[in-house]
Amino acid sequence: MHSHSDPIPSISVTEFAHRVAMGDAGLQLIDVREPDEVAIASLPNFKIYPLSQFAQWSAILPTTLQLDAETYVLCHHGMRSAQMCQWLRSQGFTNVTNIKGGIEAYATSVDGAIARY
């Protein structure tokens, strides 16, 4: 068992892209950016849980998602997603990874077609 004080694992955007390309339907993908940000740029198959709406989804999220699924969290630069990873772990999620650099890094390192903002 991990303790809550352990650092949250992180993955680079290139590693993440490889992980997704391996085609695993069991990945749990969470985007904590705001709807207007998601409208500008998003990645496929991410569930959107904006941090500003935390009060609306925080009570149901742990029962909606799988606690032991391989979970990756995305935001703009990787700061909000790190906060979300900490919270998910406090809720009993056991396999949470932060996507380093967020969608900004993904747009610059992986897919130049993704809009930057």
Marked catalytic residue, from 75, 82, 96, 107: 75
Rounded to whole angstroms, the Cα distance separating 43 from 62 reads: 22
The question of whether 75 is a catalytic residue gets the answer: yes
DSSP 52: G
Q: Please say whether the beta carbons of 86 and 74 come within 8 A.
A: no
| 10-109 CATH fold | Oxidized Rhodanese; domain 1 (3.40.250)
pLDDT tens, position by position, 27-77: 999 999 999 999 999 999 999 999 999 999 999 999 999 999 999 999 999
Rounded to whole angstroms, the Cα distance separating 116 from 64 reads: 30
Domain borders along the chain are 10-109
pLDDT tens, position by position, 64-99: 999 999 999 999 999 999 999 999 999 999 999 999
Task: Please tell me the pTM assigned to this model.
Answer: 0.94
pLDDT tens, position by position, 97-108: 999 999 999 999
